[in-house]
Amino acid sequence: MLTLRTPAKINPVLEVLGPRPDGYHELALVFQAVGLYDQLTFQKKEKGVQLSLSEGPNDLAADDSNLIVKAAKLFITEVLQDKAGVQVTLQKNIPMAAGLGGGSSDAAATLRGLQWLFEVPVSEEKLADMAGRLGSDVPFFLTGGAALGTGRGEKIEPWTSSAQFSLLLVKTPEGLSTPAVYRSGKAQLTSGEKAKSFQALLKKGNTKEIVSALFNGLEPAAFYLRPDVKRVKERLMEEGVLGALVSGSGPTVFAVTSTAGEAKNIGEKFQGEGFEVFVTETISGGVERQ
């Protein structure tokens, strides 16, 4: 038996460069892992893939539409040659459809978990290839920390620098569909230089400069579809946070705060109003053993 925990992410910078022939969009974005985790437990079985939920939302699918199941079946087919199976138990803490990468993180943890559980040699290139086929965000979670993503987000350049700062995450009750955000036609197109230059700011570690460079080209689309998300960001700024931004395609808004205590105090003002609120911080790691 093997138990792992796997983090959520935010995107301090997300640039949409334009549409691609394959139907996706060319992106340049910064990934940053944060200390909000799902937990997965793996146990060998003779055949097949079974997923159960120990804690979390009742509407989470445990069938072939789930990225954990897809990742496990892909690994078992391509690496284990269908000679084994696995039972996976998920404790779901990262909210779904939130722009925090929870499903992608679980998929990466499944690939890494099966590599460790069955003690089989698999190259990082092979794992990254399988991860990229599962989803654009999945390869990032194999490394964690901070990284630059290009292509549709699946080409990962890990960064050794990862500035630590306190965060408040506020998610509205209703989720937001990534395809709907792109289809809205409201995304702001940029060149990709904002994402590529962000690494230098992380190395310097000046929080004021970091928050001044926060940017998300999908934010106008998220605000267009969900004005309540815009109001969350406005409220956070009114509370005096250092900076705030929609994460990914939303609807979660993350705020950078001076201290964890400040994040907690501001977060309490959103609790009781139907929001999911998390006080956390940036982290330098990724999938890890429990």
Catalytic site residues?
A: 9, 137
Neighbours of 189 (CB within 10 A): 12
Show the tokens assigned to 284. Answer: 């330098």
Show the tokens assigned to 102. Answer: 């929870």
d(CA 78, CA 122): 10
Q: Decide if 246 contacts 253 (C-beta within 8 A).
A: yes
Q: Decide if 186 contacts 217 (C-beta within 8 A).
A: no
Task: Give the strands of the sheet with 276-281, arranged side by side.
Answer: 243-246, 253-257, 166-171, 276-281
Closest CA to 163 of 225, 206, 195, 130: 206
Give the type of residue at 273: E
DSSP 251: S
Outline where 79-144 has alpha helix (H). Answer: 102-118, 124-134
d(CA 147, CA 11): 10
What per-residue string of b and e applies to 137-175 under the rule 16 or more CB within 10 Å gives b? Answer: bbbbbbbbbbbbbbebbbbbeebeebbebbbbbbbbeeb
d(CA 146, CA 53): 29
